[in-house]
Structure 1
Amino acid sequence: MSDTVQPRALPLAGVRVLDLSRVLAGPWCAMVLADLGAEVVKVEHPERGDDTRDWGIRVGSTQTTYFNSVNRNKESMTLDLQSPQGQQIARELARQSDVVIQNFKFGGAEKMGLGYAELSSDHPGLIYCSISGYDRTGPEAARPGYDLVVQGEAGLMALNGEADRPPLKFGVAAVDLFTGMYAAQAVLAALYERERTGKGRHIEMALFDCGLMITAYYGLEALVGGEDPPRYGNAHPSIIPYGVFDAADGPLVITVGNNSQFERFCREVIERPDLADDARFKTNLERSANRAVLVAEIDRELRSRPRRELLARLSAACIPCGEVAGLNEALTSPRALAGGLVTMQPHPEAGSTPVLAPPYRFDGMRMPIRHAPPPLGNATQQILEARLGLSADKIAELKAQGVI
């Protein structure tokens, strides 16, 4: 592909990652590193594989849309980590790796001899990332972590949704995804530090910690005000008009970010100079204080005009705006296709399957998809032969014993 970075130029080329994690936060961290060029081996149970191979829409016999969304640019190997032989193979792979990522239940890695203390004892440069639900040094260390639970406990549901409706979860597993991104940032920092010191790190990430962090300015408003901030649904808590509005033929997003934009919006878009001249609406603080009156007037004007006309007027007035698209519509839009964000990757059973491209561009080039999301165990034999030097007979023996 001419518009992607070639493998030799990838930023993390040569970095080896052993991904012992499953479901979303850990695999997302590993995929970020894979997208940036790391060689990622995803270790999975020989029979079941990752839990997400059973979530979403089936793609072939061992993959699903959920699994594929978080495992591009990886290779899969199967390994029974409950068996002594499987644990020994994992330790040998860890010794050859720069990074290990795991999200076992608290104490689970240590029981298998795969904890940080053991793996780093003969590999002091190892970067080891543990992902859990809660602080591993606190009283809830052993509690399992689930995105939906943490969305509730971290106050994220309380700030999401309409004021007159119950608290609402995010459409995607936002806590898991942000935890994965935070974890990848920490791994990159540790890799950078290791260049200077030669020493690795034990990185510990908790879903609850990351869930609190992404409350962002809402979190600080709650602390300063001493109570939960109001919920505004698709509107902005302090900028008006800023949100989703209904035109005569469908919804659109309008973001009037300052007072000069508001004046242009009133005069050039909805042709209501009286609103621009009204003292109640002169500044954003005043518009916020008189939100209900102003929004009612704006809604009336917008509902009387077609969306295409409004978008044209908003653009001419230099006010950021856009349509509210359906998900499939957004993914198949000319914008997404022109940007190379949606690709079709070959699949041994389905023929081909859609895979989103990495969002990163370096020197104007998008990071490539080097490996489509892998079928279960697609690289097991190759990894055992190339990395550990196992013979075909030994590999056959491990398979017969159910280790791989």
Structure 2
Amino acid sequence: MSGARLPLEGVRVLDLSRVLAGPMCAMTLGDLGAEVVKVEHPDRGDDTRDWGLRVNSTQTAYFNSVNRNKRSVTVDLQHPEGQRLVRELAAQCDVVVQNFKHGGAARLGVGYEDLRAVREDIIYVSISGYDSTGAEAGRPGYDLVVQGEAGLMGMNGEATQPPLKFGVAVVDMFTGMYAAQGVLAALFDRERSGAGRHIEMALFDSGLMLTAYYGLEALLQGGDPPRYGNAHPSIVPYGVFDAADGPLVITVGNNAQFQRFCREVIERPDLAEDARYATNLLRGVNREALMAEIGPALRSRSRAVLLQRLAAAGIPCGEVLGLLEALQSPRARAGGLVRQMPHAEGGQAHVLAPPFRIDGERPPVRRAPPFLGEGTADVLQELLGIDAERLAQLRGQGVL
């Protein structure tokens, strides 16, 4: 950012988490400028180093997606000396993120009370599957399971098809982002009060929040709302439609736009004058009849023509691109959203950039996703003053 200071510069985060929700939280803080130290098992590292497509000897695309702007330190937390080292690292950190099974962190000597004892103002994040005070506290949390239990699969997909999961692990991702919001609030409060905080996040809680207006409508009507697939449950016409040569998104958001859509885009002024479609509520009631008229009109025209007309009429619209097309699009290139960074084996790895801008600039990816343990010696020397001889001893004992 042209030398500008990032908001969380000077904040240090100890990331004891793995897989997705916890690493997402820690990476978000790293994107904002925090120094993030990721602790991993010496032999296998984060589980996601073995998930999906391999990038190099210790990285996969899955791992790289939530571990930019971090340094990797390998410590065996089953070893008492490893537990002591992590507590010493925590004493040098502002924030700790962990997602062990319920009670697991405390059994390893790195629970909230353990780390609060070494740093009273620590901000400690615990991420679990379910409410830590409830009967299901000990259940492991998995995104797909929670998508089912929270009703997300039940509201997703087409009405004629079985319940459908989201394409990515949205519950994990949102839980991580909610957790990062909690950390930011706790850091702000600590500046005023000097006190630390224990932030607890449950995947199920986040999953239920994701139901948003669908959830409130289910409560209002005492039953599940219909599933509309790519259409909108409340706004018509609004969704994915087929042109003569491919799909596009059309979002007619108000009555004035509907008038222009009918007259200027599909050249059907009769629909604009039809009393059944005068308001959005009426269009919702008469959805099927309206779609039967709109569909053929759109399919008779090319996507390029429709997009030009829609834009001229001030109606939000866009192409439906393949994933690779989107990543390689001029829009993504102009925004600097996809980067290539060198890795320890001499090649290049793709990294997605932070999605926000601060003072008009996108924060840099300061560190590529780390190789397993590549920062162990540097971090332990910098933060704990451990010399080369002691490092060798710890490695010999299987601690690192």
Q: TM-score range by the shorter chain?
A: over 0.9
Conserved 8 A contact 1:59-1:350: no
- Alpha-carbon distance in structure 2 between the residues aligned to 1:201 and 1:70: 24
Compute the TM-score of the two structures, normalised by the length of structure 2. Answer: 0.99
For 1:22-171, what aligned pairs fall within 5 Å after superposition? 22-171=18-167
For 1:313-328, what aligned pairs fall within 5 Å after superposition? 313-328=309-324
For 1:255-270, what aligned pairs fall within 5 Å after superposition? 255-270=251-266
- Aligned-partner SS, 2:384: coil
User: Counterpart of 1:347?
Assistant: 343
- Alpha-carbon distance in structure 1 between the residues aligned to 2:274 and 2:259: 11
For residues 215-261 of structure 1, give each alpha carbon's deviation from its aligned partner in whole angstroms, at most 9, with x where no partner exists: 00000000111000000000001111000000000000000000000
- 2:206 equivalent to 1:203: no
| Structure 2 unmatched runs, 5+ | none
- Aligned-partner SS, 1:48: coil
Give the share of equivalent positions with the same residue, in percent.
Answer: 71
- Alpha-carbon distance in structure 2 between the residues aligned to 1:13 and 1:325: 37
- Alpha-carbon distance in structure 1 between the residues aligned to 2:93 and 2:53: 33
Matched residues, number: 400
User: Counterpart of 2:327?
Assistant: 331
User: Where does structure 1 differ by over 2 angstroms across 4 or more consecutive aligned residues?
Assistant: none
- Alpha-carbon distance in structure 1 between the residues aligned to 2:369 and 2:2: 19
Question: Displacement of 1:347 after TM fit?
Answer: 1.5
Conserved 8 A contact 1:60-1:350: no
Q: Which residue identity lines up with residue 106 of structure 2 in the other structure?
A: E
- Alpha-carbon distance in structure 2 between the residues aligned to 1:197 and 1:111: 30
User: Counterpart of 2:355?
Assistant: 359
Conserved 8 A contact 1:5-1:366: no
Partner of residue 273 from structure 1, selected from 244, 269, 274: 269
- 2:162 equivalent to 1:173: no
Between 1:127-136 and 1:117-126, the stretch displaced more is 117-126
Q: Which residue identity lines up with residue 19 of structure 1 in the other structure?
A: D
User: Counterpart of 1:186?
Assistant: 182
Compute the TM-score of the two structures, normalised by the length of structure 1. Answer: 0.98
- Alpha-carbon distance in structure 2 between the residues aligned to 1:289 and 1:211: 30
Instruction: Give the RMSD, CA atoms, in angstroms.
Output: 0.8
For residues 177-221 of structure 1, give each alpha carbon's deviation from its aligned partner in whole angstroms, at most 9, with x where no partner exists: 000000000000000000001010000000000000010000000
- Aligned-partner SS, 1:246: strand
Question: Displacement of 1:350 after TM fit?
Answer: 5.3
- Alpha-carbon distance in structure 1 between the residues aligned to 2:346 and 2:339: 15
| Structure 1 unmatched runs, 5+ | none
Q: Which residue identity lines up with residue 76 of structure 1 in the other structure?
A: S
Partner of residue 222 from structure 1, selected from 218, 237, 244: 218
